[in-house]
Chain A
Amino acid sequence: MASKTRSPSPIPPPTPATPPPEELLRLYRSMLLIRRFEEKAGQLYGMGLINGFCHLYIGQEAVVAGMQAMAGPADSCITSYRDHAHMLACGLDPKGVMAELTGRSGGYSRGKGGSMHMFSREHRFYGGHGIVGAQVPLGIGLGFAHQYRNDGGVAHVYLGDGAVNQGQVYESFNMAALWKLPVVFVIENNLYAMGTASARHAAGDELCARGAAYGIPGERIDGMNVLSVRSAAARALAYARAGAGPFILEMMTYRYRGHSMSDPAKYRSKEEVSNMREHHDPIDRLRQILQDQGVIDEAGLKEIDRTIKASVAAAADFAQASPEPAASELWTDVLSEA
């Protein structure tokens, strides 16, 4: 895909508030693909084809879609276990993602990683990590490598509102700021860490201010509006890419489903969820813009929906048809050949 550039890219010109029609449609498709993919994953889980933990991203689509829209060709990405969407947004094939969820040989980790542990060297997607907060120091390591190689890339490091309380996050903030590493920390504040509302786990109001002591600029963004995310991404990435150091974006967002599949979600009211769904849905909001601006008509929207559904259905078929890994795979990949 991307060719590597050897020198830092120049700061891009400021992005206009409303991107051109083709870009709006790209954002729309990207979010819709995530939504439909996750709905299908939920169904396959219900049918017993996906097991273990499975953390859906439904409701949060604008965050990764908006960030990834501004990603540079050498950028890298790392996140937690809630990772399917990031993979799709990084351009990975839905078939390989779904087949990993079903634990089949056609999956990105050949069935050995599962939903929380998927990677693609080719797309510079470094996982998929099951230990809350662990991806943050790993992520500044990606930033360190970008700086070391001077390849113009920025590391996109995603973490939840719950993860910001892990000590290793602050060790990472300190080093990233000290060494001006090209990193954008994207805090996906969906208001809950499992069943704990952020007010019950985090002192202070704004998570974007958690880097202040290290001199890391932070902004709180409406993460349910993909256009706000996109312009924030442009600012933060330009800052990091220019060598000014890390940047924190706190994306205010919401997950509609439970934490994982087995979460009864008793810690929040139905009204809260339905209010977010009905009045703040990122896909509905962009669809409205597309229609208001005459970018696309009803038939065009239907066509997009149909194509995306078909690709998700194809991914689901592939994920069921792909065979389980061969028994001999149990013993492979433990170590590299020395």
Chain B
Amino acid sequence: MPIEILMPALSPTMREGRLARWLKAEGDAVKSGDALAEIETDKATMELESIEDGILGRILVPAETDGVAVNTPLALLLVDGETLPDANAAPPSPQPAPPPAAAPAAPVAVSAALPAAPLATHRQTVREALRDAMAEEMRRDPDVFLLGEEVGQYQGAYKISQGLLDEFGPKRVVDTPITEMGFTGLACGAAFTGLKPIVEFMTFNFSLQAIDHILNSAAKTRYMSGGQLSCPIVFRGPNGAAARVGAQHSQDFSSWYAHCPGLKVVAPWSAADAKGLLKTAIRDPNPVVVLENELLYGQTFDVPDDPDFVIPFGQAEIVQSGRDITLVAWSRMVQVALDAAQTLKAEGIEAEVINLRSLRPLDIDTLVASVQKTNRILTVEEGWPVAGLAAEIAAQIVERAFDWLDAPPSRVCGADVPLPYAANLEHLALPQPDTVAAAARTLCNRTSEGGA
């Protein structure tokens, strides 16, 4: 039987790709490992390698086909002197790709922070917004520079720094060895002298190697020096669970960093958040931790055109207003909360969804005002529950808005375990729209749809 060569999944998040071109023709002899075709994804161009020695029997998907779903047969490989079974059989047409998972429903952002006047905007991915924020600030201020692993020649492990090396050169876009403790210390030292480093952690999991400098050097030095030495530095990179990368690569550090005085901590959800918060972070004279999310990098949102668009810290955004319950979330969990709100709406529960954006300082006033309206609050946190940010929010709401509450402040958090690899367990370990909706329903005293 000829071997079907299938459209491979080339990354944890890939669902479809473009078959750019064939590197072998029908009838060519190929060896195991030979490149057969070029596949393009949103991140990269990759070669499809032959898995056996044989002859490329028939090409089923022509070059320059877009949107070929993972696992679509691309060609038939003949091994051990086989011939094609039926030369007249119609080649299967490429399967259309399934719609991209969880396409954001482009909610209308009702912002607590922005002026009401509509801003001219353009569509952009979170990835591009982060890149533009860095590029604009580097143009604006020669003291700003970027360093980290693979940020230069490789264009970023997640392609965030694409094009920056070309524009700013190796002096300002610095590829480091894999020495997080070392380069973070170096960056803090440079920041003491007034330079403004942006430290990219390939993922925030690796910031644990450097957390001593983030806390002991960056966060505390201004205080310890009686205000003499500031540390104007940005620590950024993807935070939280990605997809199936296991416990050591899937941690949410929101509460870890939000715990520490001397730091500011933000967690963008949309591309506008990403751009506005990162620019503010770079301009801020303090150490700022910017917690991004890999699963959001490819998502598209409206971003204001204004090159001076910034989002002040400490201002949450009301993404959707409602009167029955307040759902608080940040980063990727905003989408989870919005999806839950949609389900609840069908049941007659109107949820107000708040995108926190800034974790330290925390915009408790916006949360209190919301609770005064809804009388119920549920926080959605990807990270672990114990001593988490949701716990902090609950405590502050009890302190500030106890008399307005009709139900205890509540939370849906990541399971209190290291994140498992298995697909089913990973799903169970993370907050999902249905678990959030169920918790909200309980708070609203409705046990099932349409009840009570």
Listed in ascending order, the chain A residues whose CB lies under 8 Å from chain B are 39, 42-43, 45-48, 51-53, 100, 103-104, 109, 111-117, 129-133, 162-163, 165-167, 193-196, 200-202, 256-258, 261-264, 266-267, 270, 277, 324-325, 327, 329-331, 334
Given contacts A117-B247, A131-B206, contact A48 B9 (CB under 8 A): yes
Query: Is there an interface contact between A166 and B179, defined as CB atoms closer than 8 Å?
Result: yes
- Say yes or no: A325 contacts B424, CB within 8 Å: yes
CB-CB nearest 3 A-B residue pairs: A46-B8, A114-B421, A262-B11
Query: Could you list which residues of chain B lie within 8 angstroms of chain A, going by C-beta atoms?
Result: 6-12, 14, 32-33, 35, 41, 43-46, 49, 51, 70-71, 149-150, 153-154, 157, 175-179, 181-182, 205-206, 208-209, 242-249, 415-418, 420-425, 428-429
B246 & A324 in contact (Cβ 8 Å cutoff): no
Contact of B157 among A114, A130, A194 (CB under 8 A): A194
Whether A324 contacts B424 in the complex (CB less than 8 A), given A53-B12, A129-B248, A194-B157, comes out as: yes
Given contacts A103-B421, A194-B149, 19 further A-B contacts (CB under 8 A): A46-B6, A47-B71, A52-B245, A53-B246, A113-B247, A113-B421, A114-B421, A117-B248, A131-B205, A163-B178, A167-B181, A257-B49, A261-B9, A261-B10, A266-B44, A266-B154, A267-B154, A330-B425, A334-B417
Q: Are B205 and A51 in contact (CB under 8 A)?
A: no
Residue of A nearest to B45 (CB): A264
Tell me which of A45, A130, A202, A327 contacts B177 (CB under 8 A).
Answer: A202
A114: B residues at CB distance < 8 A: 244-246, 421
Find the B residue at minimum CB distance from A281. B33
Closest B residue to A194 by CB, please name it.
B150
Contact A132 B44 (CB under 8 A): no
The chain A residue sitting closest to B157, CB to CB, is A194
B43 close to A262 (CB less than 8 A): yes
- Determine the distance from Cα of A166 to Cα of B157 in the docked complex, in whole angstroms: 19
**Interface contact B44-A264, CB-CB below 8 Å:** yes
A256 touches B33 (CB 8 A): yes
With a CB–CB cut-off of 8 A, which chain A residues contact B247?
Answer: 113, 117
- Give CA–CA (A117, B249) in the complex, Å: 11
- How far in angstroms is the closest Cβ of chain B from A103? 4
Q: Is the CB of B243 within 8 A of A52?
A: yes
A331 close to B415 (CB less than 8 A): yes
Cross-chain pairs A/B with CB under 8 angstroms, 14 sampled: A45-B8, A45-B9, A46-B9, A52-B243, A103-B421, A111-B425, A112-B422, A130-B245, A131-B248, A195-B153, A201-B175, A262-B14, A262-B43, A324-B422
Known: A42-B51, A167-B182, A327-B425. A53 touches B177 (CB 8 A): no
Least Cβ distance of A271 to chain B in Å?
Answer: 13
Q: Are B154 and A196 in contact (CB under 8 A)?
A: yes
- CA distance in complex: A132, B149 (Å): 12
| Cα-based distance from A113 to B248 in the complex (angstroms) | 9
How far apart sit A305 and B244, CA to CA, in the bound complex (Å)? Answer: 32
Judging by beta carbons under 8 Å apart, are A39 and B12 in contact?
Answer: no
Q: Which of A48, A258, A264, A334 contacts B418 (CB 8 A)?
A: A334
Is A130's CB under 8 angstroms from B249's CB? yes
Contact call A165/B44, Cβ cutoff below 8 A: no
Please determine whether A103 and B179 come into contact, CB atoms closer than 8 angstroms. no
- Cβ contact of A327, chosen from B14, B417, B428, cutoff 8 A: B428
CA distance A263 to B415 in the complex (A): 31
Q: Which residues of B contact A266 (CB under 8 A)?
A: 44, 154
Tell me, in angstroms, the Cα distance from A263 to B425 when the chains sit together: 27
CB atoms of A53 and B71 under 8 A apart: no
Q: When chains A and B are docked, how far (Å) is the Cα of A276 from the Cα of B157? A: 25
Query: When the two chains form their complex, are residues A39 and B51 in contact, meaning their CB atoms are under 8 A apart?
Result: yes
B contact residues around A100 at 8 Å (CB): 421
Q: How far is the CA of A327 from the CA of B6 in the complex (A)?
A: 31
A47-B9 contact, Cβ under 8 Å, with A131-B205, A196-B154: yes
Please indicate the chain B residues that have their CB under 8 angstroms from the CB of A258 in the complex: 46
A103 with B177: CB separation less than 8 A: no
CB pair A262 B177 closer than 8 Å: no
Please indicate the chain B residues that have their CB under 8 angstroms from the CB of A329 in the complex.
420, 422, 425
Residues of chain A within 8 A (CB-CB) of B206 are: 131-132
Given A117-B247, A196-B175, A261-B11, check contact A48 B421 (CB 8 Å). Answer: no
Nearest B residue to A39 via CB reads: B51
B428 nearest CB across to chain A (Å):
5
Please state if A103 and B422 are interface contacts (CB–CB under 8 Å): yes
The residues of A that contact B150 with a CB separation of less than 8 Å are 194-196
* Measured CA separation A193–B208 after assembly (Å): 20
Q: Which one of B32, B51, B150, B248 has the greatest number of beta carbons of chain A within 10 Å?
A: B248
B71: chain A residues at CB < 8 Å are 47-48
CA gap between A258 and B418 in the complex, in Å: 28
Docked-complex contact B422 and A48, CB < 8 angstroms? no
Residues in A whose Cβ lies below 8 Å from that of B244: 51-52, 103, 114
Asked if A117 and B246 make an inter-chain contact with CB atoms under 8 angstroms apart, the answer reads yes
Q: Report chain B residues within 8 Å CB of A200.
A: 153, 175
Q: Which residues of the other chain, B, contact A194 by a CB distance below 8 angstroms?
A: 149-150, 154, 157
Contact between B44 and A262, CB atoms less than 8 A apart: yes
List A contacts of B175 (CB < 8 A). Answer: 196, 200-201
